[in-house]
Amino acid sequence: MSVESMGLRESKKQETRLLISDHATRLFLEQGFEQTTIAEIATAARVAKKTVTNYFPRKEDLAFDHHEQFTASLAAAVAGRAEGESPLAALRREFTAALDARNPVAGFAGPDFARMVAESPTLTARLRDLHDQREEALAVALADTANLADATETPSIAPRAAAALLGAAHRLLFRRIQELTLAGRSNDVIATTLAPEAAHVFDLLESALGDFPTAAA
């Protein structure tokens, strides 16, 4: 198969995935997540049920289509930080950028989507799981950064402890965005409200973490 053919095939797969996701989201918002079936989604997207499950093994993944980006986001910020920048500073900078961009990964998903998640026990549980996965990925990134083999005074649990603090902070800020969204606040108002609140949260982390594990890239 030629490179061009492979490219066209991959493009077609992405189009199909997006088509299924778009129809699923529409049905979830109209009918509720729990009430919508895979068969209904397949019918709306004009594909077989097996095609839906091939692209989305879990029904929840149809709602959280960007879950891989979400779970990797904190670890990616740490891994991609600037030379001399601490992990905490990188995460603070990334969250500020997410506020400015009204990024859905930070929690800007709109009132309809936020309400759908809040009203679904399945989606609420899945969101908790995704937060846990994001924290675990962050712990791995911090451990790689810390190089604990050369840090004789740093306990081996330190990266996980730091990830727990940072994960909890981001979970809190995510929930705060959702809370304000459900209260009817606009994205602009939410971002304005969150800016000083996030600064307070990161200031608290600063006193606890400083430049742990290192400011060196």
Distance CA 214, CA 145 (A): 7
Sites in the chain below the pLDDT cut of 70 = 1-6, 147-153, 214-217
pLDDT of 216 reads 45
Average pLDDT value for the chain: 91
The predicted structure's pLDDT at residue 3: 54
Q: What is the pLDDT of residue 149?
A: 45
> Under a CB-based contact definition with an 8 Å cutoff, are residues 138 and 75 in contact?
yes
Q: Looking at this protein, which amino acid is placed at residue 21?
A: S
> Which residue shows structure tokens 């603090």?
165
Burial of 143 by CB count in 10 Å (0-12 exposed, 13-18 middle, 19+ buried)? middle
